[in-house]
Amino acid sequence: MQIIKTTDLRKLTEIKNLYTEAFSGGISKQWIDNDELDNYIRTLLSTGYALIILENNIIIGAILSCPLTFDTLLPEKISREYPPESSIYIAEMMVSENFRGQGIGKKLLTEFMKTVDKTQFTDAFIRVWDKNIPALTLYEKTGFKQIATIEQVKTKADGTEKFVMNKIYLHQKLN
């Protein structure tokens, strides 16, 4: 396995495919508009970067991160207590379904914490659905602490009905 930090748009299609796989199945399956996803990932890569993990030159996991100022849903409590411009935000963390439960997420988070620019960022944040217990457990085991919650409205996979996801913000001080 190889882990690479990149902003290379040539990886865009592979990252989009991983995102679609991660979020269009299971109990959290939701509508994904391909044009919106393309714009979202392009914006993330232009303001931040991807940390990708490869197996046989195929992306099997990724973290997409950027400054916390990117997060338009950021609770006021966080923006009052932490400087968003010097906080990094893990906007997305995804692992291919075939590789879950094999420590890929932990490897990505560990490498992320080693490689994040601590001269630019003092704090790290991630947001997770409260029903995603494996991810929540992983984040807490790697030093993140719950600090705030929001409700996020999503559209069901069929594109016709809305549902609410309760999301938890977690924080970790960078040293």
The predicted model scores a pTM of 0.92
Residue-by-residue pLDDT tens, the chain, 175 positions: 899 999 999 999 999 999 998 888 776 788 888 999 999 999 999 999 999 999 999 999 999 999 999 999 999 999 999 999 999 999 999 999 899 999 999 999 999 999 999 999 999 999 999 999 999 999 999 999 999 999 999 888 888 889 899 999 999 999 8
- CB distance 94 to 132 below 8 Å: no
Structure tokens at 1: 């396995």
CATH of the structural domain 2-173, one choice from 3.20.20.140, 3.40.50.720, 1.10.260.40, 3.40.630.30: 3.40.630.30
- Alpha-carbon span 58 to 1, nearest angstrom: 10
